[in-house]
Homo-oligomer: A and B are copies of this chain.
Amino acid sequence: MASDPNGPLLLLNARLADGRQGVRILIRDGRIAALEEGAAPAGETAAAAVFDLAGDLVLPGLVDGHMHLDKTLMGLPWTPHAAEPDRSSRIANDERLLPTLPLSTEARAGHLIRRSVAHGTAHIRTHVDITPAFGLSALEGVLAAREAHAGAVTVQIVAFPQAGVMRHGPRAVVDLLDAAVRAGAELVGGLDPCEIDRDPRGQLDAIFGIAERRGVGVDIHLHEPGELGLFSLQEICARTTALGMQGRVTVSHGFCLGGIAESKQHAAAEMMAAAGVALATHGAGGATLPPVMLLRRAGVRVFCGNDNVRDTWSPYSTGDMLERAAIIGWRADLRHDPLLEELFAMATSEGAAALGITEYGLAPGRPATFFTLPAENIPDAIGAHPPRRLVFHAGRLVARDGAYCGPGQEPLKAG
């Protein structure tokens, strides 16, 4: 938004992560105009709508770097998980179930977006299924949901070949992915080039070909375990370097990194750092967790996402990125405050950098995109992840006490 239709906002008695208290935050034209201790200058209070934070902590908007907005079942009555316990069955189940649901992709994605915003999420990267069965329909639904919630959250879309690429022939999915990028997806995705397509060269050449031709980034789901996944990762890094795409390629999950010898973890981390390939993790669930701190120490960008939130793949997750950070930190054995601060960066600034959000952070001049909660500091906020009190996006109050109040709410039902 270019301006605040309701004039400036003034937040008093804020606590910051660096320990400062009694801080005053002035929001003007959607940006942080002042952020400092001490009383407001004469006239400032009178000019603005005032919120007394009463000592609540203020943190920059959370970044959910890996979601599946199109698969969520939010907004529906409880829908039991219906797939068999393997990836192929889940893919087939999606094609069977999703088109029959009584809520559209747009409506379901909207429910999850609003829940995410109420948890303080400001920026989302979502994968959207692009398959022969769905064509671009899931993308169209998510694009509509994104449009409806513009001003409350940014949504970056990966055109995700959930049903594989080459197994449908040399062109069918490639053409769909290309069309998805032309229709508004900012990245092209991939999926287990060995296990799903049995043709790693074919899939990776195809998706990197789209990325090169259209000038978009790449984010590849890599569930392949151990040495198999490492092989695919090497191929991804080689193509990233060859095309000069450093900093614009992500491997999501990368479970293989948790299932190889420690010496190979180090070599893989150096390879990823040199190629500028990032890792997105949700904590790996039942799979092997990548060594997130080893990767960071080698210079790899690591960021976090919730992945499946109450959807056709999983009954779990609330969409809260602070709860997600707690799960990841618990699994990664991060106990000391400095490590918890790094963990928070993986759920905020590192994700923002991966998503290419240049104006990010709690500082004068930046967009007023932040949330408040009753916590002492960042480790406390992660450990307890209490409900968020106020959520602002670019200067606009978009959620309060867990209730979304931004644009794109469901119209009230008649009678």
Give residues in A with beta carbon < 8 Å to B: 77-78, 80-81, 83, 85, 285-286, 289, 310, 313-318, 323, 326-327, 329-333, 335-337, 340, 376-377, 379-380, 382-385, 387
Contact = CB atoms under 8 A, between A and B. Distances in A.
A318 B78 contact: no
A250 to B, nearest CB: 22
Given A286-B330, A286-B331, A317-B330, 8 more contacts: A81-B336, A85-B333, A85-B335, A285-B330, A315-B335, A316-B383, A318-B384, A387-B387
Contacts of A285: 330-331, 333
A145 to B, nearest CB: 21
Contacts of A380: 78
12 contacts: A78-B376, A78-B379, A80-B336, A81-B337, A285-B330, A286-B331, A286-B332, A310-B384, A313-B335, A315-B383, A317-B383, A318-B384
A335 B314 contact: yes
Nearest to A330: B316
A77 B318 contact: no
Contact of A80 (B83, B85, B337): B337
Nearest to A284: B331
Contacts of A310: 383-384
Contacts of A316: 326, 329-330, 383
Contacts of A77: 376
